[in-house]
Each structure stands twice: as C-alpha cells, then as structure tokens.
Amino acid sequence: MRDIVENLVALQGIDSAARNDKNERDGLQKKIQRLKELLVVAGKGLDEKREKLAEASRWYREKDSELKADQEKVNRAKSKLQAVTKNKEYMAMQKEIELLRKANTNKEEEILKLLNVMEEFKIAIAAEQEKISSLEADVNAEDEHNATRIGELDARIDARGAERDAIAGKLAPDLVTRYKRIQSARDGVAIVPVRNQACSGCNFSVPPQQILRLQKLETMETCRNCSRILYWDPKVETAAE
C-alpha cells in the first residue's frame, strides 16, 4: 500500500505540474489571439475612416470644379456686360452677376469648411495609424517571446508524459482509471494529504478512525465528501498546525 500511495502522489505531482504548464500555455495562446483580434478590429475601423476621407475628397473635387465653372460664368457675364448699352438690360445683368457672385462665395465657404474638416480627419487617421503600428509591434514582440515560452512549456509537457507513463505502469490499470475519473471530476486533483484532520481537497473532516487506518497504510481511503483518495503525511499535518 505504501508503494501504491507513493506512486499515486508522484503521479499527482506530475499531473498537477503538467496542468499548470498547459494552463500557462493556453493562457499565452489565448492572450495573443485576443490581441490579434483587437488589431483586426482596429484595422477595419481605420479602413472605414480612410474610405470616408476618400469620399469627402471626391465630394470636394466635385464642388471645386462646380465652383470653377460658376466663376467662369461670372467672367463671361462680366465681359458680356461691357457690350450692353441699354440701361434696363445692364441693370438686370448686373443683378444676375451679383447673385452668381454671392452663390459662389457661399460655395467657397462651404468648400473651405470641408477642407478644414478633411485636414483634421487626416491628422486623426495618421494618429490612429501610428497607434495601431505601435500595438502591432508590441503584439509581434509578445508573439515571438510567447513562442519561445510555449516551446519550453511544450517540451516540458512532452517530457513529463514519459515520466508519467512509467509511474502509471507500476499501478493497477483499474486504479489508474479510478484516479483519472476522480481527477476529471475534481479539478485535476485525485489524491490529497490530510491536513488539520480534514481532507485538504475539500476541507471536510476526516474521522479519527479513518486517520488511524491511513497511518497504518493497509487500505485505500477516500474522502467521504469529495471522494478524493486520501493519504497521511505527518509533515503536512504538522506544518498546518
């Protein structure tokens, strides 16, 4: 029984360490994935803004050529005005020129406003691009750093596999099956020491008769509450007191 318990404890030690390594590896992978997703979203937002700016530029060019055409109209009307001799006709044409000029001034102001907005927008886009580039550099650096760490963790996980199989091979297959079943039901921990006369897995008390049986190492004892396999380790018991 002593050997069985020792092997189970050793197996649990390896499994817990492997579990920690796997959690660390998965955490690193998830984090980098989240960052990459964030970059994609930011990039899409930037593309949308660029598209809006391109749209505004198109509108600006349209308005600008309209304005030029209107100015041309004013110029033509002015030269025609010089040839007009009748007073009534002259007055009417002058009025028309004045209206055209006013309309052009309004259009000019509108275009100027648009140019200002576009300028601000360009600055905002450049700032955002810079932010995204710096984030991208951070993500790439972290990705590289993570790849090294993930490689180390994977190597350790692999190495433990062989060690684990060697120990599991010394135990009866049905015991290994039972151990695995408890592990999957109890957060990866199948065997725990008694601490303060209680199961250190769930803190449920262990009766004195059971502690005696554990100390004698004659039978396999389990926690009445969480069904984890229990073992007695005087160092754990005294360390807790």
Q: Which residues bind Zn ion (CB under 5 A)?
A: 199, 201-202, 204, 223, 225-226
- Which of residues 104 and 227 has its CB atom nearest to Zn ion in the complex? 227
Q: With beta carbons less than 8 A apart as the criterion, state whether 202 and 223 touch.
A: yes
Task: Give CA–CA dist 156/158, Å, rounded.
Answer: 5
According to DSSP, residue 237 is labeled H
Nearest Cα to 187, choosing from 226, 132, 137, 220? Answer: 226
- Can you tell me the distance from the alpha carbon of 110 to that of 106, in angstroms, rounded to the nearest whole number? 6
Q: How far is the CB of 224 from Zn ion (least distance, A)?
A: 8
**Shortest CB 184 distance to Zn ion, Å:** 16
CA distances for 13 relative to 8, 90, 98, 230, angstroms: 9, 104, 93, 14
Whose Cβ is closer to Zn ion: residue 7's or residue 200's? 200
Q: CA-to-CA distance for 17 and 84, rounded, in angstroms?
A: 101
Q: How near is the Cβ of 192 to Zn ion at its closest, in Å?
A: 7
Instruction: Please say which residue, 32 or 182, places its beta carbon nearer to Zn ion.
Output: 182
Nearer to Zn ion, 153 or 226 (CB): 226
Query: At residue 206, what are phi and psi to the nearest 5 degrees?
Result: -110, 120
How far is it between the farthest Cα atoms of the chain? 130
Radius of gyration of the chain (CA): 40
**Two structure tokens written together for 167:** 């120990």
At its nearest, how many Å lie between Zn ion and the CB of residue 232? 14
As measured in angstroms, the least distance from the Cβ of 9 to Zn ion is: 16
Q: Which is nearer to Zn ion, 104 or 225 (CB)?
A: 225
| Residue number, 153 or 190, with CB nearest to Zn ion | 190
Closest approach, Cβ 235 to Zn ion, in A, equals 20
Which residues fall within 8 angstroms of residue 66, CB to CB, at 6 or more apart?
107
